[in-house]
A and B are shown apart, each in its own frame.
Chain A
Amino acid sequence: VLHTTRPLHTTQQRLAPLPPLPEKGGEVRYGLIPEEFFQFLYPKTGVTGPYMLGTGLLLYLLSKEIYVINHETVAAACILTVIIYGIKKYGSDVAAFADKLNEDKVAQALAVKNGAIKGLETAIEQEKKEQWRVEGRSYLFDAKRNNIAMLLETNYRERLLTVYNEVKKRLDYQVALQNLKRQKEQDHMIQWVEKSVVQSITPQQQKDSIAKCILDLKALSKSAQAAA
């Protein structure tokens, strides 16, 4: 059970972000003795105090043979000379190299951070663009509504045309029917009249009409001869 009344984060320290490392370490003189020692002796003995202390200590150690001089002393002296010479000569180069390594790490981290920031910024811009696009929704729906209205209109007109065509076809049929009926009646009547006329021409009438025709022709030929 978590006691929710217990206060959290009561100390001042926070784990992140870490405070940056200090630029330089504590001051050390001759690479071995911290400055604090010199400052500690300064009020009582001035500047030369620690050096006198060091010299006295060294002479005491040597004279009392607390520090014996043997082959190891010579070896230590040679090693120290080589080390000090190496540090003096190549120290700055090594320092620059190490600084460059650090620099690269920091630059990489910065690049990652900048890349992330850029990515998020482009995402923000795209989001804003999408929001702007949303405003055009009303135009989209207006266009869609217009389309649908047009479709309905077209459909209505097509069907109107079909109705008109169908009705016209039926009316044409009726008209054609009447025409045909009249035609048939006419033909029939003509035929009947002709048949009855031909039937009514008896043979006697036929002879008489032929004789009359011959007489007319003779008269015509006579008048034609007279005219010519």
Chain B
Amino acid sequence: GPLSERHLMDVRLGELPTWLATCDFSPQGLLGGVQKGWNSYYDKYINVKRGGPAGISMLLAGYCLLSYGWSYQHISKISFLLQE
């Protein structure tokens, strides 16, 4: 279909800049995109009849990585490493 309505996975590498241009970067657009992503994640892994640990474990792992990234500066300081 037309370029603006394809998912990111279906866009070829050469068309990436044009695809990025068609994206909606206003706050409402970003919020809409986040909402859509959240809903699609939920529909795929959580709103099922027999889910497993995969749904929330991926969210927790993502949270772990994010918090590690935020506190990397503090963890890598030598004073933190030598406190034990």
A residues lining the B interface (CB < 8 Å): 21-26, 28, 31-32, 34, 65-68, 70-72, 87, 91, 95, 99, 102
Chain A proximity of B44: nearest CB distance (Å): 5
How far does the alpha carbon of A65 sit from the alpha carbon of B81 in the complex, in Å?
12
Asked whether A70 and B84 contact (CB < 8 A) given A25-B55, A26-B44, the answer is yes
Contact A70 B61, beta carbon cutoff 8 Å: no
Q: Select which of B48, B55, B57 is within 8 A of A21 by beta carbon.
A: B48
Contact A21 B84, beta carbon cutoff 8 Å: no
Residue interface bits B35-78, CB-to-A below 8 A is 1, else 0: 00000000011111111111101100100000010001001100
Q: Which residues of B contact A67 (CB under 8 A)?
A: 68
Number of A-B contacts (CB under 8 A): 57
Name 21 interchain pairs, CB-CB below 8 A, sorted by A: A21-B47, A21-B48, A24-B48, A25-B44, A25-B45, A25-B48, A25-B54, A28-B52, A28-B54, A31-B52, A31-B58, A32-B54, A32-B57, A32-B58, A34-B58, A67-B68, A70-B75, A70-B80, A70-B84, A71-B84, A91-B52
Q: Which residues of B contact A34 (CB under 8 A)?
A: 58
Main secondary structure of the interface of A (DSSP, over half): loop
Contact A91 B44, beta carbon cutoff 8 Å: no
Sorting the interface of chain B by its residue count into under 10, 10 to 19, 20 to 34 or 35 or more gives 20 to 34
Q: Which residues of B contact A22 (CB under 8 A)?
A: 48-49
Q: Select which of A31, A65, A87, A91 is within 8 A of B76 by beta carbon.
A: A65
Closest to B51 in A: A25
Main secondary structure of the interface of B (DSSP, over half): helix
Q: Which residues of A contact B49 (CB under 8 A)?
A: 21-24, 102
Chain B proximity of A209: nearest CB distance (Å): 151
Closest to B41 in A: A26
Contact A68 B76, beta carbon cutoff 8 Å: yes
How far does the alpha carbon of A67 sit from the alpha carbon of B47 in the complex, in Å?
34
Q: Which residues of B contact A21 (CB under 8 A)?
A: 47-49
Q: Which residues of A contact B84 (CB under 8 A)?
A: 70-71
Q: Which residues of A contact B72 (CB under 8 A)?
A: 66
Q: Which residues of A contact B58 (CB under 8 A)?
A: 28, 31-32, 34
